[in-house]
Amino acid sequence: MLTLTDISKHFGATRALDGVTLAIRPGRVHALVGENGAGKSTLMHVLAGGLSADAGQMTIGGEPYRPAGPLAAREAGIALIHQELSLCEHLTVAENILLGREPRTGGRYDRAAAHAEAARVLAPFHHPELHPGRVVAGLPIAARQVVEIGRAVSADARVVLMDEPTSSLPREDVERLFGQIRRLRAAGVAVVYISHFLEEVRAIADDLSVLRDGRTVWTGPAEMLTDAQVIGHMVGRDVAELFPTRQSRPTATIRLDAGNISVEGRVRQASLQVRAGEVLGIAGLVGAGRTELLRGLMGLDQRLVQGRLSVDGHDIAVGRKAPWARLAAGLGYLSEDRKGEGLTLPMSLADNLTCTGYQSVSRRGVIDNGAQRARGQQLLDRLKVRAQTPLQAVRTLSGGNQQKVALGRLLHQEAKVWLLDEPTRGVDVGSKVHLYEAIAASADAGCAVVIVSSYLPELFGLCDSLAVMSRGQLTASRPLAEWTPESVMAAAIGSPAS
């Protein structure tokens, strides 16, 4: 159906794609896996006409395929479903599905024809609440995704590209999405499915390709590889080598003590204790309330937060929405949302690194540029950040190096408790290793570390103990040795077996 031969794409000096060769067959789901930065999203955009390849050939249905733009790709039968849904919230279901090719009679939008067409498109999806005249803003996220898929297939798509479609979905909706994908497959459509989650790939994919550094390193039927082999291909080395050896064991001193923490509607009565030198992992599904728990502890969540919290025996008023007071108490926080809540992208590395504590680089409110720069350089060296100078804007760095800067703030702050939310999301393998080293070093230095992560190998490689969150409830924390990936997953989906 769709073939790619030696597709390459450069951005300046960076090779995003460096000879990708793939064959996508009709009526099959082809999973594309790889680390962030491996080139998956670039490849998607090349396929969907958003970017043009520098070299290589593509064919669709035997015809040469070289889309001039997204519209040409759509006309050729290729539809892209974005990671973040791209619906116009104020328009109706029908208007969204037919956006750009609205039926017209004499220049007027033909509402009746649009509704009929939308109803025809949506019929196979069994979503009775999706009336064509409903405004999208009121719809739940799963229904919106159906609208998005409806938009893709309404243009008679032969190939549907899905870029991490489950990243914003709750668990139940993932199953429903898989149902829709199977329906597309049964209709002879080829589905290209990008995901980070191997279990999803296992559940849905017929074929599998692994991308690394812009190259296809493996392609073939999905059942031919074990999970460990897939990961091995993705990172290009043995998984065990990624994690640093810890120099010390947790001590007996409790640093972070949080009891019965509730975040209105999200977290119920979560309790956790973390000792000096301990790394506690919190596993769970997206949407389980892990982020809200950390944000609640930091005083960042705007919902009602209750419970009791102390650091090194000093009580902190949990209900007070004052992040600055939490920082002063020794809590340090790394947001999962690097661009939204983490870094100030246009500002310099030095400004970003030292913003958690200007006192040490200023005198009477006036910044000491030399001291700030020196401190920045020191942190950059410590975290092995690839940067030219502390004065360049954070925006100019790669994702992995940006994340190191975000973590470097906690070092500058000399935080005693590190609350890390998805610390390695969107980060290349090399940077991951550096981040793991920095986290391990802080624990060895006596910090109490809490890591929320959706990537199990990371939790098993880095943590001393583990707790699992499921629908707002946190299990007791137990030593890592008492967990297996299976028991973590069982606890995460809330099965009674755990």
Partner 1 sequence: MTPSLRERVSALAPILGLVLVIGVFALMSDDPAQYLSPRNLRIVLAQTVIVALGAIGMTFIIVSGGIDLAVGSTIALAGVVTALGLREGYAPIVAVAAGVLSGGVVGIVNGLAITRLHVLPFIGTLGMLGIARGVAKWLADQQTVNAPATWVNELAVTFPTPSWLLVAPGVWISLVLAVAATFLLQQTVFGRRVFAIGSNESAARACGVRTERLKVWIYGLAGMLFGLSGVMQMSRLRQGDPTVAIGTELDVIAAVVIGGGSLAGGEGTIAGSLIGALVMAFLRNGSQQMGWPNYVQEIIIGVIIVLAVAADRARRARSA
Q: Where does this chain bind partner 1 (CB under 8 A)? A: 298, 300, 322-324, 326-328, 333, 335, 337, 340-347, 351, 355-358, 362, 365-367, 369, 388-389, 391-393, 396, 409
Q: Return the sign of the alpha-carbon dihedral for residues 80, 82, 86, 92.
A: positive
Which is nearer to partner 1, 248 or 392 (by Cβ)? 392
Which is nearer to partner 1, 332 or 457 (by Cβ)? 332
**CA angle (457 as vertex; 453, 462 as ends), nearest 5:** 75
Which is nearer to partner 1, 108 or 364 (by Cβ)? 364
Smallest separation, CB 158 to partner 1 (Å):
35
Bridge partners (DSSP) listed for residue 18: 8
Rounded CA-CA distance 345/396 in Å is 8
Which is nearer to partner 1, 404 or 409 (by Cβ)? 409
Q: What amino acid occupies position 481?
A: A
Structure-block tokens of residue 202:
């296992």
**Torsion of Cα atoms, 150 then 152 then 156 then 160, to 10°:** -120
Kindly give the pairing relationship between strand 305-311 and strand 279-284.
unpaired
CA 286 to chain CA mean position, Å: 10
Q: What is the DSSP letter of 135?
A: B
Smallest separation, CB 131 to partner 1 (Å):
33
Q: Which residue has the tokens 């002879």?
A: 188
Which is nearer to partner 1, 288 or 334 (by Cβ)? 334
Smallest separation, CB 337 to partner 1 (Å):
8
Which is nearer to partner 1, 214 or 330 (by Cβ)? 330
Smallest separation, CB 384 to partner 1 (Å):
19
Smallest separation, CB 415 to partner 1 (Å):
11
Bridge partners (DSSP) listed for residue 280: 450, 465
Smallest separation, CB 309 to partner 1 (Å):
17
CA 101 to chain CA mean position, Å: 33
Residues near 138 by Cβ (< 8 Å), separated by ≥ 6?
none
Which is nearer to partner 1, 333 or 460 (by Cβ)? 333
Smallest separation, CB 433 to partner 1 (Å):
25
Q: What amino acid occupies position 426?
A: G
